[in-house]
Amino acid sequence: MVSGLITQKLREIVEDAGTRSTIIRSKRKALTALFPYVTLRTKDGEHEMFDVFLRVVRSSERSGLMWFYIEPLLSVLLDERAPVFSKQAAIMASPHVPWWQFENGGHLVQLWAGAYSAVPYTDDVGQSVVDTLLQIASWKSPAITDDMWLWLNKCPDLPPVCSGRYWGSNHAVFKMVRALKDTKTLTSYLLLIWSEWDFLMPRGFDEMCASIREDFSGEEMGRHRTDLIRRLSYVRRELERGLEYIQQYKPELKEENLHRRRDQYKRLQDILLEVDNETAAGPIGESL
């Protein structure tokens, strides 16, 4: 009864785009206190309250919860001996956690790294893991191991508002993925990072331009180039839908930002097509 009222209230908050941010900010202490309970509800497979709760947290970006207070609980949820439902809840919440702010952040990342593989894979889990992985990588956490990057190959759909995708375009992250010398993973990374919803960080963008020439030339890379060119065509088409379309998730975006974004993706596609044209197999771009 009480939890039903709370679930209803959470739904009202998330659906009222006009006042959502203000309400969430003023209620963040209560939302923080609610986190363990919504997690507990998933124990018996009741995910409705947790899902609505996550929508609230997601829509608030980083101001939704007072994660400082939840840090000790995250350690409990991600502990090796913890049940799967609690690991899963922590994994699902992990993209919204400001890991770098925690005093004990390194240890928590290690627990996270040990926990995610214990959770059954779903699209939502994959999305959360990849989103978090890209964020953690952007502050060069030593807890990240090479095998974690294989999750990129699952290519989950990342949501329009996704911190991992933005921070993941950082040159440091790109270098980490490139250093694996695994073209499949590098391609997956680019397919995830390139999106109409986000601008690419300048140094990361420069690295990508260089990488296309160095890593994706040659006949044997044709399949990867095809995938990348298709992705870029899609992103550019979406960007042509105009400012209003992008603003539904990025209300702060201005026309000049949209132009910069279009320029970035056009430049990447041009380079890919040039590389493609230089190969003996002939241009892929013409067939797209």
Q: Kindly list the residues in this chain that would bind other proteins in the complex (CB under 8 A).
A: 1-6, 8-10, 27, 29-37, 39-41, 43-44, 46, 69-70, 72-73, 76-77, 81, 86
Residue among 32 and 169 whose Cβ is closer to other proteins: 32
Least distance between other proteins and beta carbon 83 (Å): 9
User: In terms of Cα–Cα distance, which of 217, 204, 215, 212 is closest to 231?
Assistant: 212
Instruction: Tell me how far, at minimum, the Cβ of 48 lies from other proteins, in Å.
Output: 12
Q: How far is the CB of 135 from other proteins (least distance, A)?
A: 24
82 vs 177, which CB is nearer to other proteins?
82
Between 80 and 252, whose beta carbon lies closer to other proteins? 80
For other proteins, which is the closer residue by CB, 86 or 141? 86
Whichever of 30 and 210 has its CB closer to other proteins, that residue is: 30
Of 32 and 185, which CB lies nearer to other proteins in the complex structure? Answer: 32
Instruction: Pull the structure tokens for residue 262.
Output: 């279009």
Q: How far apart are CB 5 and other proteins at their closest, in Å?
A: 4
The residue (of 81 and 181) whose beta carbon lies closer to other proteins is 81
Q: How far is the CB of 62 from other proteins (least distance, A)?
A: 19
The minimum distance between CB 221 and other proteins, in angstroms, equals 48
CB of 12 to other proteins, least distance (A): 9
Rounded to whole angstroms, what are the CA distances from 142 to 65, 171, 174, 247?
Answer: 26, 17, 16, 36
Q: Distance between terminal CA atoms of the chain?
A: 56
Exposed / middle / buried, residue 257 (Cβ in 10 Å: 0-12, 13-18, 19+):
middle
Q: Which is nearer to other proteins, 56 or 246 (CB)?
A: 56
- Closest approach, Cβ 237 to other proteins, in A, equals 42
